[in-house]
Amino acid sequence: MTTAERIKQARLKAGLSKKELSEKYRIPLRSIQQWEEGSRKPPEYVIDLLVRCLELDFNHELAEHEQDLSAPKQLIFTDHIGKPLKEPVLSAVKQAYDDRKVQFIPVADDEGNQIENPRKGKLFMVLAPEEYGLDIGFEFRIKEV
C-alpha cells in the first residue's frame, strides 16, 4: 500500500473529508491534498502518528457502526471512576457526545499497552466543555450494556 493510499484509507475509515481532517488535526488542507495525490510525501513517523490518532479518535465511532443491528446496546454515561452521571451534567455530556465534541482517551499500562476495563467503560474527555457548561478537562466513561 502506498503512502497516499494509506493516508486516504485512514481518513475515509474515520469518515472525514479532507477539510474535516485538516481542521481536526490542524494540518494544512493543501498538505493533505498533496499527500493523497502522491505529489508530496510526509515523513513516515507523521503518517504513523496520523493513522494512530485517527484510529484512537474514531475507533469508538467505527465500532458503533460495525455492531450487530439486531442487538441494540444501551449507553451508560458515568464519571471517570464509574458512578452514573446525574442531571444536568448527564444531558450536557450526552449532547457533547452526540455533537462529536469528545475524544477517546486510551488507557495504557506501564509498558504502553492499551488496556480497557469493560466494567467501567471507555474513557472520554469533552473537547469544548465550556460550550456545555462543564468544567475544563471533564472526563467521563461510556459503558455499553
Q: In tens digits, what is the pLDDT along the chain, a chain of 145 residues?
A: 788 888 888 888 888 899 999 998 899 999 999 999 999 998 888 888 888 888 887 765 444 444 444 455 688 899 888 889 999 999 999 999 989 889 888 877 777 676 666 667 888 889 889 999 998 888 899 887 7
Beta bridge partners of 143: 76
**Assigned CATH for 3-65:** 1.10.260
| Alpha-carbon distance values, 25 to 8, 18, 63, 120, 138 (Å) | 15, 11, 21, 29, 21
Closest CA to 106 of 118, 97, 115, 117: 115
pTM: 0.47
Domain definitions of the chain by residue range = 3-65, 75-144
DSSP state of 122: E
**CA–CA separation, 53 and 44 (whole Å):** 14
